[in-house]
């Protein structure tokens, strides 16, 4: 058997004995190496589909393909290698002994291998130190090249992951911005109805609906502002109202434009006086602004109009429709009484 295998040694082209760097990629033994390995090692048959070792197995054996083909599968998305006659694998088992295999080795066809164990390494060295030193250098270079290839692939994968992460972050950022836009009233920058609904939903989920007051705010005779001064002036009046509301909201409070010339304010307040304090501040500021002489504007262009306000305390056990109905009763009264005022509505009277 040994003689048969030795006869399969590669026949070099004249003057083509491989150099250290030229043949590392192919892992093929030179003719002299093959003959030495065949002399020291044992012949071993292998059969199509046979697993010689698996990734992670501790191995002390190196193989040289005499006949047939072997596939090395490194797992994950690493490229498998296919080895043919006179190519070797598992050399770290031979060189360092108990070595965890980095690939599954499976025979692709019936064939023959030369098998060398760790204990036989010294015999190889003693038989031909020069040849084995050459083989060793190639084996080390092969390990280094494999390692460099692996590092390159890991770097590339790292970069791919990094850019995937970057684009994910950008998408998340765009999504946040879009959500912000969807929740915001374009003209005033306050929350719109959708934003208010989301806010109330979040608060209810967090059990944070207690100790709140609601103030509904509606512009008085706003249609007249539009009719007399035009839509743009009307827009500016709405923006002025929004600015006043923005100036009173604190952390956790919310100012919202419900639509048209109607606004609301949801504020932290434990009692009637606290809620009315916010509402009074709004009417006082509005009246103050109406007193400011406006020499720079041609005609009598208003910066703001008077407001009607309806206020109440929020019952955490009921919902927005109930609170709105309650505050709206007060607002309706404020309108009926001529506007430019704040009215209060208690819960039991509203019911
Ligand atoms: N400029 C401007 N006007 C708007 C906007 N949205 C709604 N309006 C106008 O707001 C006006 C609201 O009119 P009404 O609901 O009759 O209210 P009002 O004139 O203030 O009457 P009272 O509330 O009874 O004092 C309508 O003329 C709408 O066209 C907007 O975004 N910009």
Average pLDDT over residues 121-131: 92
Does 320 lie in the same domain as 220? yes
259: left (phi over 0), alpha (psi -120 to 50) or beta: left
What residue's CA is closest to ligand 1, atom 5? 260
Residue 164 pLDDT exceeds 90: yes
CB of 343 closer than 6 A to ligand 1? no
- β-strands 61-67, 58-59: how paired? unpaired
Does 191 lie in the same domain as 147? no
In a domain, 157, yes or no: no
Does 200 lie in the same domain as 114? no
CB of 259 closer than 6 A to ligand 1? no
Provide the β-strand partners of residue 254: 266
Whichever domain contains 56, its CATH number is 2.60.120.10
And the tokens for 318? 């009921």
Does 136 lie in the same domain as 16? yes
In a domain, 51, yes or no: yes
Q: Which of 223, 229, 303, 306 to mutate to test the pocket of ligand 1 (most atoms within 8 A of CB)?
A: 223
Q: Which of 224, 236, 259, 261 to mutate to test the pocket of ligand 1 (most atoms within 8 A of CB)?
A: 261
d(C-alpha 31, C-alpha 133), whole Å: 15
User: What distance in angstroms lies between residue 299's CA and the mean position of ligand 1's atoms?
Assistant: 21
**233 CA: nearest ligand 1 atom:** 1
In a domain, 346, yes or no: yes
Average pLDDT over residues 290-315: 86
Q: Which residue has the higher pLDDT, 350 or 285?
A: 285
CB 309 within 8 A of CB 215: yes
d(C-alpha 175, C-alpha 183), whole Å: 12
Q: Give the H/E segment covering residue 89.
A: strand 88-89
Does 27 lie in the same domain as 138? yes
Burial 244-278 (b: 16+ CB within 10 A, else e): bbeebbeeebbbbbbeebebbbbbbbeeeeebbeb
CB of 322 closer than 6 A to ligand 1? no
Residue 219 pLDDT exceeds 70: yes
d(C-alpha 160, C-alpha 146), whole Å: 21
Total structural domains in the chain?
Answer: 2
Burial 67-80 (b: 16+ CB within 10 A, else e): bbbbebebeeeeee
CB of 338 closer than 6 A to ligand 1? no
And the tokens for 29? 């033994």
Does 328 lie in the same domain as 245? yes
d(C-alpha 18, C-alpha 58), whole Å: 31
Residue 104 pLDDT exceeds 60: yes
Whole-number pLDDT of residue 51:
97
The pLDDT mean for the chain works out to 90
DSSP 97-115: SSEE-SSEEEESSSEEEEE
Rounded to the nearest angstrom, the gap between the alpha carbon of residue 116 and the centroid of all alpha carbons in its chain is 50
Whichever domain contains 322, its CATH number is 3.30.70.270
Exposure of 106 in the CB half-sphere (CA atoms within 13 A): 11
User: What distance in angstroms lies between residue 121's CA and the mean position of ligand 1's atoms?
Assistant: 96
Confidence of residue 330 (pLDDT cuts 50, 70, 90): very high
CB 306 within 8 A of CB 339: yes
Does 266 lie in the same domain as 132? no
Confidence of residue 21 (pLDDT cuts 50, 70, 90): very low
**232 CA: nearest ligand 1 atom:** 1
In a domain, 166, yes or no: no
What residue's CA is closest to ligand 1, atom 32? 235
For 40, the domain range is 2-151
Provide the β-strand partners of residue 218: 262, 308
Whole-number pLDDT of residue 22:
46
Average pLDDT over residues 252-261: 96
CB of 222 closer than 6 A to ligand 1? yes
In a domain, 169, yes or no: no
d(C-alpha 1, C-alpha 39), whole Å: 11
In a domain, 156, yes or no: no
Does 247 lie in the same domain as 130? no
Does 195 lie in the same domain as 328? yes
d(C-alpha 227, C-alpha 214), whole Å: 30
In a domain, 110, yes or no: yes
Average pLDDT over residues 239-265: 96
Average pLDDT over residues 288-310: 84
Whole-number pLDDT of residue 298:
63
pLDDT by residue (tens digit) across 308-324? 999 999 999 999 999 99
Whole-number pLDDT of residue 86:
93
Whole-number pLDDT of residue 39:
94
Q: Provide the H-helix boundaries in the chain.
A: 2-7, 31-40, 91-96, 121-127, 129-183, 193-205, 222-229, 231-248, 272-291, 320-336, 347-350
Does 242 lie in the same domain as 331? yes
Does 241 lie in the same domain as 96? no
CB of 2 closer than 6 A to ligand 1? no
Average pLDDT over residues 216-243: 97
Whole-number pLDDT of residue 301:
86
Average pLDDT over residues 331-335: 98
**223 CA: nearest ligand 1 atom:** 19
User: Which of 105, 135, 151 is a domain's end point?
Assistant: 151
User: What distance in angstroms lies between residue 209's CA and the mean position of ligand 1's atoms?
Assistant: 31
In a domain, 174, yes or no: no
Whole-number pLDDT of residue 20:
44
> What ipTM was predicted for this assembly?
0.98
Whole-number pLDDT of residue 31:
92
Question: Residues of the chain with pLDDT > 70: what percent?
Answer: 92
Q: Give the H/E segment covering residue 267.
A: strand 262-268
Average pLDDT over residues 278-291: 95
Does 84 lie in the same domain as 224? no
Whole-number pLDDT of residue 175:
93
Residue 9 pLDDT exceeds 80: no
d(C-alpha 128, C-alpha 132), whole Å: 6
And the tokens for 346? 């208690």
Q: How far is CA 313 from CA 85, 112, 274, in A?
A: 89, 90, 10
**227 CA: nearest ligand 1 atom:** 27
Q: Which residue has the higher pLDDT, 119 or 307?
A: 307
**305 CA: nearest ligand 1 atom:** 20
């Amino acid at each position: 058997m040994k003689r048969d295998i030795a006869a399969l040694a590669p026949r070099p082209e004249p003057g083509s004995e491989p150099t250290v760097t030229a043949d590392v990629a192919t892992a093929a033994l030179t003719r002299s190496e093959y003959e030495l390995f065949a002399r020291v090692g044992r012949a071993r048959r292998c059969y199509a589909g046979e697993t010689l070792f698996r990734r992670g197995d501790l191995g002390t054996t190196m193989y040289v393909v005499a006949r047939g083909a072997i596939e090395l599968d490194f797992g994950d998305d690493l490229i498998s290698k296919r080895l043919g006659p006179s190519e070797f694998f598992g050399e770290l088992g031979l060189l360092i002994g108990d070595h965890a295999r980095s690939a599954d080795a499976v025979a692709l066809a019936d064939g023959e291998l030369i098998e060398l164990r760790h204990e036989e390494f010294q015999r190889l060295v003693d038989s031909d130190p020069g040849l084995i030193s050459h083989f060793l250098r190639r084996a080390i270079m092969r390990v280094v090249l494999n390692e460099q290839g692996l590092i390159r692939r890991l770097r590339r994968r790292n970069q791919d992951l990094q850019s995937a992460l970057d684009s994910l972050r950008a998408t998340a950022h765009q999504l946040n911005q879009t959500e912000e836009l969807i929740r915001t009233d374009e003209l005033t920058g306050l929350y719109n109805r959708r934003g208010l609904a989301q806010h109330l939903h979040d608060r209810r989920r967090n059990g944070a609906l207690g100790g709140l007051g609601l103030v509904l705010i509606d512009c008085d005779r706003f249609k007249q502002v539009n009719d007399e001064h035009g839509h743009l002036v009307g827009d500016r009046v709405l923006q002025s109202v929004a600015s006043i509301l923005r100036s009173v909201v604190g952390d956790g409070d919310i100012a919202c434009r419900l639509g048209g010339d109607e606004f609301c304010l949801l504020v932290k307040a434990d009692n009637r006086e606290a809620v009315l304090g916010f509402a009074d501040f709004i009417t006082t500021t509005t009246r103050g602004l109406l007193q400011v002489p406006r020499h720079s504007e041609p005609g009598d262009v208003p910066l703001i109009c008077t407001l009607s306000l309806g206020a109440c305390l929020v019952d955490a056990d009921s919902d927005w429709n109930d609170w709105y109905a309650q505050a709206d009763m007060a607002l309706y009264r404020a309108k009926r009484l001529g506007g430019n005022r704040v009215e209060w509505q208690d819960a039991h009277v509203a019911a």
